[in-house]
Amino acid sequence: MAKKKTHQQKKPHGHYCRVCGELKANEKFSGRGHAAHICKKCAALPLAERNEELALRRIEGMAFRYLSEAEIKWLRGKMNDQRPTVRDAAREVHGIKFPRFERNLEKKGLTAHVLEFYIHSEVWSEYGDEVPVHARFFMDHTGELRRIDYDAPAGQQETLIQVDKVEARKFLKAVIHQLDALFWDADLSDADPGDYDPYLDILPECRPDGWDDDIDAEADDDIDEDSEAETQVPEPDREPLWSLFLSLNNGKEKEIKFYNLMHDAPQELFWALMEFFEPDDVEDEEAD
């Protein structure tokens, strides 16, 4: 019985040029260009332009494959290249390969000296219950930790404890490096879900009369007639659901306010602070 011939994938005809990144017919290459993987057209380019294209092709090929230490070093060197196209391409690819690199550089050596955290919302407990919270926390690197519980009876709202100085400094550093609190304003969205109804796009027949006109009118209202005058959007005339203020060891300050949405990150910070006031070993001490 004759064996069936296995299908073999045919190799593409032509040759690859590592300057322009195109697969071209063999006659587009000279003998020397064939060995160097450079077509005749690219070989005729000025040396500076050809080297720039070579660098761009090499950078493009790094985006989605494993890189050796030498290649990583080369790519990072190109992030400060004098040629804008090479520099921009290197930074883009490096951002894809190492998305946290820039943040880690920004956080390097940073810690918080002072933390002020406010929350007025419902948070989820470990048992899946919603717990109403209206409180403010103050903490500094000396270990002084103060909580104001606005829902507590008058005269019992404020609690002041002294945390071990080393533990306090570890906690404040963890807020920066583990919770990434410096980037909450960039990572978390505070868009009011009531501002947009997706069903109006999915079911246009449900749109009220004048719906498109209202959107156009709002867009026109947002246009500043005087382009030279910079306008600032005022903060809402209401207290935030949660806010965070950090005084950093480099002399800078960071303040974040959210008015519409409660995220997991601030809830995690809340429960971490509460552990200082309600330590897990209290029950163990009572059992002894």
- DSSP for 173-235 reads HHHHHTS-GGGHHHHS----GGG--THHHH-GGGPPTTHHHHHHHHHHHHS-S-TTS---PPP
User: Which tokens sit at 153?
Assistant: 């009876």
How far apart CA 276 and CA 116 sit, in angstroms, is: 15
E runs forming strands in the chain: 15-16, 23-24, 112-124, 130-140, 144-149, 158-162, 242-248, 253-258
How far apart CA 104 and CA 94 sit, in angstroms, is: 14
Which of 140-154, 228-242, 266-280 shows the highest mean pLDDT? 140-154
Mean pLDDT confidence for 95-105:
83
Residue at token pair 């048992």: 127
Q: What confidence score (pLDDT) does residue 228 get?
A: 45
What digits encode the pLDDT tens for the residues 11-65?
666 778 878 878 888 777 776 766 677 888 888 888 888 889 889 988 988 988 8
Mean pLDDT confidence for 91-107:
85
What architecture does CATH give domain 112-216+238-287?
2-Layer Sandwich (3.30)
Residue at token pair 């090499």: 58
235: confidence class by pLDDT, cuts 50, 70, 90: low
Kindly list the domain boundaries of the chain, sorted by start residue.
15-104, 112-216+238-287
Residue 71 contacts by C-beta under 8 Å, 6 or more apart in sequence?
62
E runs forming strands in 47-129: 112-124
Q: What confidence score (pLDDT) does residue 217 get?
A: 52
How far apart CA 199 and CA 245 sit, in angstroms, is: 37
Question: Residue-wise over 28-58: b if at least 16 C-beta within 10 A, else e?
Answer: bbeeebeeeebbeebeeeeeeebebbbbbbb
Which has the closest alpha carbon to 256: 143, 193, 175, 145?
175
Residue 12 contacts by C-beta under 8 Å, 6 or more apart in sequence?
23
In this prediction the pTM is 0.62
Residue 131 in this model has a pLDDT that exceeds 50: yes
How far apart CA 131 and CA 120 sit, in angstroms, is: 11
